[in-house]
Structure 1
C-alpha cells in the first residue's frame, strides 16, 4: 500500500460557505443589455469591427501573463493537473493516487487549504515585472478548474472565501496600477463546461453532490454549453469588468464554440461601452476565429507570424516550454530566446504576452527572477528599438526561418546575420532600428537591408548609433550592407541594437502608419 503521509489535510466540507444561488439572472442580464443599448457599440459584428486597439497597447510591446491557482499546490505536470489527475492512465492520475490516495477520499478540491500564499507580496510582484520592462500585467482571474482568484458574488469557490481568504486578483491589480502599469485579466471559465468530466467516469469526488457547484458541470466536450452555463459565463465576465475595470481581457480558445457566439458579441459591446463610459481604452484578446476580424486583438499561443501584419496582434508564450504553471521540472528558456521572441513579434507589428509561473506560496523560482531581471537589463539598453515603434518595410533578414502558426515556437539558436527591424518617426525625424539577435563575434555588424544598392533604404544616412553605447561607432555603407563596429558595451547581453538617423526630409510622424489605410509591406527579400 502506498504511503500517504505526505497528503495534506482534506478540505473540511462542514466549514464551507453556503452555495450561491445563481438560478435567476434576469435582472443582471437586463443591466447588461441596458449598457449595450446605450452604445456607442452594439452587439453585432459590423458595429464591433469599428473598434481600434488603443495606442497604449500598440506602444507597450511587452505584457506579463500569470498562471497561478490551486493547481500550483500539487505542482505536477501543468496547470491541467485538475483534469489529468482524473484521467485514468495518465502520469498525473498515477501520481495522484500514489501520493494522495483514492480520488473519492482526496480530490482536487482538497488542495485548497494548502493554497495559503504565505509569501505573496503583490507590490513586490509588480516591482519585479516593472523592472522586467512590462507595461501591463494579465493574471489569470479564473482558470479551467473553476476556482476564482477574485472576489466573486456568483460562486463560493473563490480565493476570497477559502484558501488564502483574500481577493488575490484585486490585490495584484491594485499593485499593478500603483507601479504605473496597466492591469488586465484573463478568464478561462468557458472550458469549465467539460474540464472535470473525467472524474464522472469512476468513483471520485467529482460525483459528490456537495461540491457539484465547484466541479460541475463536468459535461462532455462533444456537447454545447446550455443557456444557464452561457449566462453564467457572461455574468462572471461582466463581474470582473465592473468590479476591477481591467483594460485587457484575454480569453482562451473554447469561447470559439458556436454556442458562445451571441454571448461574445453581447460581452464585447458591454465591455467597450463600459470603457467609453469610464473614459479608458481597453483590449479584448482572442484566439482562432472567436471574434470577427478587427473587432478585437487576435492572439496566437506559443507561435509566430511569418511577416508584418496589417493590424496589431499578440503572441502569448511562457518562460517555460513545458508548462504555464510552476512545477519542479520546468524546462526554462534562456534570455537570448526571450529577447528573440520579443524582437520578432515587435518587428511584425505585434505585442508579446510573456507568462511567469508563481509557486503556491506566492514566491518565484530564482530562475524566473533572473529571466525577468535579465529582460529588464536588455530593454534598459535596447528598449528604444522596441517600445513605441512600428514595423519598417521588412521585418527581418538572415538565414534562420520562422514558421508561422500557433504552437510552433521558433528556433532557439539564431546567427549574427539574423536581424529584426523597427521604425520610429517623431519630432526628431525618421529613425530605423536593426536588432541583431546574436552579437557578432567579429565585432562588426553587417545589415544587408541597409546596403546602398538593394533599394530598400533610399534615404541618406545622417548618423549611426549603437544603443547603450556612449560614443558614436565607426561605420560605413557599402553597396551590399551597412557595416557598424559594435564596441564592448553590454557584451553580457544577447544581441545588440543599432539605430540610424536619416537625412531630414518632408515626413509626418506616423506612429500608426499601418492603421492609416496603407497596405501591408511586401514580404522581405531573401537575404539569407
Structure 2
C-alpha cells in the first residue's frame, strides 16, 4: 500500500463522519424510566456526576484515522487512497493488529488527567465496530492481548484502565459495539459487505445469527464478570436492533435498513449483566425502551431542556480517537458547553483519544488541567444539581441544588470580560442573602430592581484569564 497523507485525509473524513453521525444520534423525547430500584438509585447517582470522559482507543490509533468506519462500504465513506481495492484495504486494516504495541500504555496518566479535569465518570471502548477487543476475550484471538502486546504485564488493557479510574473515584463504564465487522457471524466472507449491517439474510441462516448472538452475549459476560465493579454498559451500534423498533427517527439516519430482525436478545443480556452488576445502567443507544436508561445525543446539545436523563457526547478535539495535528477545543468552549448541557438537564461526556503508544497527547492533558481549574472553583454550580424551570437568559445558565434551596447562575462570555455588572431577570435570591462568586469564593454586591438581579463585579475578576470564559454565582432562594 502506498504511503498515505493521513492528516489531510483524516480531517476530511472526520468532517464527513461528524455530519453523518450527527444524523444518527440526535436527542429523542421518547424515554422509559427504569422500574428496578437499584437501577433508579444508580441513575440518580450518575446524574450527580455531570462530567465524564469517553476514551476511544483501538487499531485506528496506529495510523491515526477515523475509528472503524473506513471498513464500512457506504457512500459517505471516502478512503485515503482510491487506487486500493476495498478487500485489500480491509486486509491492511485488520493487519494493524500485528503492529499495535502500546509500550507506553499509562492508564494512571489517563485517570489523573480525568480527575484533574474535574470528571467523575468514564466510558472506555472495550470493542468498537471493527471487532478488535481491548480486553483479553476468550471468544476471539482478535484482541490486544493476542498481538505484539501479549507479553506486557498490562496486556489485558481494559482491566488496567478500569482499575486506574476506580482508584480516582470514577464511576466505570464499558463501551461495547453490538455489531462486529470482523466476526464471520456478522460479516460473513461468503458475501460482499455493502453496508454496516449483517451481509447475509439472517432469515436464511438462523444458525449463523444465533452464533453471533452467543458471541456478543459471551463477550459482554466476560466484561460483566471479570473486570470488577462496572456501573454502565454503554452499547453502541444502534442499527443492531429489533426490527419493530425501526421508526422514522432511525430511517432519518440515511443508512440501509435490512428486511430482517437484527436483535441480539437484550432481555437476556440485561438479566445476565445485572446479576453480575446489580443496578447496572444499560445504555442501548437510540433503541428507546427499558434498556436505554439514559440518552446520548452525539456531537450536539439539545435545543431545549429535557426532563429525563441524557448526556451530550462531544469531542475535545475534532476526532473521537487520536489523529495527528487534531485541533482541540479551548477550555472556555468546553466549560460553556458544560454549563449549557447541565442547565438543560444533561451530563457532558468529553471524548479523548490516546496515542498509539498508550499516552495522552500533551495538549489534551493541558486542556483538561485548565478545565479542571475552573471546575475546582465552580463545581458547586455543576455537580449534584438539577434543572430549574427558568434555565437560560442570554449568556447566563441556571441550575439548582437537589433540595431546591440554592440556585446557581453561570455567566458565559467570549474573548474577554470588560463590563462592571451582570444582570438577569427572575431566579431571585432570598432577601438579604449572601451571594458567592464561586470563582473567588467571595461574596459579591448585588441589588434587586423589580425582578432584575444586578451584580457588581470586582475589578480583580475582569480580563482575568483564570476565569476561563465563565463566572458562577451561588445563592439561597426565596
TM-score by length of 1: 0.70
2:473 is the counterpart of 1:502: no
Q: 1:474 aligns with which of 415, 440, 445?
A: 445
Q: Give the conservation status (yes or no) of the 8 Å contact 1:300–1:316.
A: yes
- 8 Å contact from structure 2 (residues 197, 239) kept in 1: no
> Which position in structure 1 is the counterpart of 2:54?
65
Q: Measure how far apart 1:263 and its partner are.
A: 0.9
Cα displacement (A) at 1:185: 0.7
Cross-structure match for 2:81: 94
Would the aligned equivalents of 1:194 and 1:221 in 2 still touch at CA under 8 Å? no
Aligned residue in 2 for 1:182: 171
Question: Which of 232, 245, 249 is 1:248 aligned to?
Answer: 232
**Shift in alpha-carbon separation, 1:161–1:344, aligned structure 2, 3 A:** same
Give the gaps of 5 or more residues in structure 1. Answer: 7-44, 207-216, 399-417, 451-456, 504-528
Query: 1:145-194 CA deviation, whole Å, 9 max, x = no partner?
Result: 11100011111111112132201111111111112222211001425389
Q: Which residue of 1 aligns with 2:219?
A: 236
Partner of 1:525: none
Map of 1:324 onto structure 2: 320
Q: Summarize deviations over 1:380-408 as a string: whole Å, max 9, x none.
A: 1211100011112222112xxxxxxxxxx
Contact 1:71–1:79 (8 Å) recurs in 2: yes
Match of 2:116 among 119, 131, 144: 131
Checking the alignment, whether the CA contact within 8 Å between 1:345 and 1:351 is kept in structure 2 is yes
- The structural deviation recorded for 1:200 is 8.0
Q: Which residue of 2 aligns with 1:285?
A: 283
Counterpart of 2:339 (choices 343, 346, 366) is: 343
Does the 8 Å contact 2:4/2:80 carry over to 1?
no
Matches within 5 A, 1:30-45: none
| Distance of 1:447 and 1:46 partners within structure 2 | 34
Seen in structure 2, the aligned counterparts of structure 1 residues 96 and 156 have a Cα distance that, compared at 3 Å, is: farther
Gaps of 5+ in 2: 6-31, 244-260
| Correspondence for 1:110 | 95
Matched, 1:226 2:204: no
Residues 1:147 and 2:132 are matched in the alignment: yes
> In structure 1, the residue corresponding to 2:349 is in which secondary structure?
strand
With over 3 angstroms needed to count, the CA separation of the structure-2 counterparts of 1:255 and 1:315, relative to structure 1, is farther
CA gap 1:124/1:385 in 2 versus in 1, 3 angstroms: same
Q: In structure 1, what is the equivalent of residue 21 of structure 2? A: none
Q: Give CA-to-partner distance per residue, 1:17-76, whole Å, 9 cap, x none.
A: xxxxxxxxxxxxxxxxxxxxxxxxxxxx99857642433211111111000001111113
Name 1:79's counterpart in structure 2. 67
Q: Larger Cα Rg: Structure 1 or Structure 2?
A: 1
Report how many aligned residue pairs link the two structures: 416
Cα distance in structure 2, aligned partners of 1:151 and 1:350: 33
How many angstroms does 1:463 deviate by?
1.6
Tell me how far 1:332 sits from its aligned partner.
Answer: 2.5
Aligned pairs for 1:207-222 (under 5 A) are 219-220=198-199
Q: Say whether the 8 Å CA contact 1:49–1:292 is kept in structure 2.
A: no
For each residue in 1:458-496, what CA deviation from the matched residue of structure 2 results, as whole angstroms up to 9, or x when unmatched? 853512111132432121111252111232245431111
- 1:386-405 aligned at under 5 Å gives the runs 386-398=382-394
Q: Distance in 1 between matches of 2:134 and 2:231?
A: 18
CA deviations 1:251-302 (Å, max 9, x no partner) are: 11233343354611222232233333xxxx43222322x1416862222212
SS in 1 for 2:405: strand
Corresponding position of 1:28: none
Aligned to 2:376: 380
Q: What RMSD in Å do the two structures reach over aligned CA positions?
A: 3.5
SS in structure 1 at match of 2:165: helix
- For the pair 1:449 / 2:426, whether they are aligned, the reply is yes
1:230-265 Cα shifts (integer Å, max 9, x gaps)? 221122112211111421111112333433546112
| Shift in Å, 1:96 | 8.5
Aligned to 2:20: none
| 1:306–1:293 Cα change, 3 Å | farther
Q: Tell me the distance in 2 between the aligned counterparts of 1:440 and 1:481.
A: 21
Report SS of the residue matched to 2:108: helix
CA contact (8 A) 1:71 1:81 kept: no
